[in-house]
Every structure is written in structure tokens, then in C-alpha cells.
Amino acid sequence: MLKIGNIFIEKYPVLLAPMEDVTDVSFRAICKEFGADIVFTEFISSEALIRNVDKTLQKMRIYDFERPAAIQIYGHDIENMAQATRIVSQAKPDFIDINYGCPVKKIALRGAGSGLLRDLDKMEQMTRAIVQATDLPVTAKTRLGWDSESIVIEEAVLRLQNTGIQAITIHARTRSQMYSGKADWSWIAKIISNPDVKIQIIGNGDITTPQMAKKAFEQYKVDAIMIGRGAIGRPWIFKQVKHYLTTGQLLPEPNVQERVQIAKKHFELSLKYKGMPRGIFEMRRHFAIYFKNVPNFKTFKLQLLTEQDPDKIIKILDQIASQYGDFTPQPAYAYDNMEQGEN
């Protein structure tokens, strides 16, 4: 069960994680169609918001069809984060999420994202300032700690729950892990079993199958789960997870023909909301994963990653459907060593 402001999801809440260059409106729409309960924007720089950077302002736009939806912000300066919160509030998301987890060097080493895990006093002060700057509900997303020698998540949760935020998402990796190795959910279990922890906990990290989603709810007792990289090129994972959690039955992976239909719809939405040529360029990472593990696909992949004519891209997709038909590739997971992704 998850309750954030007026949002109430009684059973098995499954959320789409905020991911830079991934969770734009077209991808959020596809994930929502497949059953994501709450979606998040890409993470947004507080400094860019204050400077009125157009591309950043566009990231804030939320449409009624994707609600409930949250906007996630990050930054290293407390006053700038409070000011950015006031700007974001005008966009009327369902709630605001604070990024305390991004491990990317240019963010973390400036004291933003997971960099705040090295200064819990500042993290606490920043969170309180953000809560005070808005009437909207506020949540936070973070990691276990900076590295394996400085895991501070338990203290961070105990501090943050007293600032007025309504939930904390824990990505069960350290900053130094980036996206490598396995997420250590034992820390999430430890936090949830702590009687002093009263705040809602959302679990994140390595949820790539319905079975792992079930384990998160039943063994680790989280209030909700968040899926990030496991949804890239596989937005149907939300439907698979929901179906398995409610029926105990595993849905099959979609075949190539079904993937083509999903990719075409995603592509059309990307063009609608991003225009040309950006709508094409930003679909390429998705195309690569939609058809990962399809044999002898190199020629088609090259065409999808280079073609700039929308009509020709649709024809390429139709050719893929015609050639591979009902072939079902093995599940593929995106960007095992990606530099930038979910925080």
C-alpha cells in the first residue's frame, strides 16, 4: 500500500523510476499504458530551472493522461533547490521528488545527487527547505551510501522521515557501484524491520522480472517497488509484474511483431511531443533494446540507428515484423554498465 498526498494505491504499487534521457513523456505514456501506477520525469537541474533553460522547462510538462506523475529535481545549493521547488510547484505535478541518488561524476562530485550522502546534515536541511517551499507532497530517492565503507542509509532514513517528506525510495546500491554489481536488498530489509522507521519505503534496484517484484513485496515488505532500467525497451514489464502479483501466472514475452507495434506507437509519440529531428534521435536507444537478442539483426539495427526519415523508419519496422513474425527473443536488459540512468 502506498499513500502520497491524495494518491492511494492499495495493492502492489509499481512505479517507473526517473531516468535521464529515458523517461520523457513518450516513454512515460507507454509505461502508463502497460500499468505503471506512478511515473516520474527525467531528473531536472535546479540551477537550470532558475536560469529558465528552455529544454529544462520542457521536461517539467506533465499531461493529464499520465497522472499521477512526479517531477524530480536535483542540486547542491539549498536556496536554489527551494526556489526550484517553487517553480516546479507551478507545473502542478502530483508530488515532487528529490534526487539524492544520481551517481554520475559531474553531479555527485558537485555535492548534488548521491553527493549528499556524504553530508547528511545538509541533506536534512535541504529536504526540510524543499518541504517548506511547497504545498505539494514531497518524496526523496537515494542510495545506500557513498561506498561500501560508508553505508549511511539507515541514518539518512531516520533523519529524512522527520522533515515532512512522505516516502523514501532506496536504490539498493552505493554511489561507487554506479549500475554495476548486484543491488543489496538486505539493507532495505534492515531498514523496514527497524521499529523507529515509520516512513513508507519504496524499493528499487535489479527489479527486472515479476519474480523479483514478488520477492520485494513478500520477503522485503516494501510499500512499493520502482522499476528503472528493467523497463527500457521492455515497458510491458509493468503488465507482466502486475499480472503475476495478482494471479501468480507469468505472461509471455511479446514476439517481434508485437514489439514492432509497441515501438511504432512509442515512435509516433516521440515525434508528436519532441518533433523533428529530436523525436528520431531520442528513440534510437529504445529501438536498440526493443529488438535486442533478435538474431542476425545487425543490418536492421544499423538502419534504425541512422535513418532520419520517419516514413522510412516505419517501413523498416514493418520489414522487421514481416521477417521475424512470431519469433520471441530472450528478455534483454538495458545498459548494464551505463554511465547515466536511474539514480
- What amino acid positions are annotated as catalytic residues? 102
Neighbours of 235 (CB within 10 A): 24
Q: Report the C-alpha gap between 286 and 22 in whole angstroms.
A: 8
Q: What's the residue count for the chain?
A: 343
Distance CA 225, CA 217 (A): 8
Task: Kindly list the distances between the CA atom of residue 235 and the CA atoms of 18, 39, 144, 171, 230, in Å, as whole numbers in the listed order.
Answer: 14, 12, 27, 20, 8
Report the C-alpha gap between 17 and 230 in whole angstroms. Answer: 10
Alpha carbon distance 203, 235 (integer Å): 18
8: left (phi over 0), alpha (psi -120 to 50) or beta: beta
Contacts of 113 (CB under 8 A, 6+ apart): 74, 99, 100, 101, 102, 103, 104, 107, 343
Please name the amino acid found at residue 340. Answer: Q
Q: Where are the beta strands (DSSP E) in 18-175?
A: 39-45, 69-74, 95-100, 138-143, 167-171
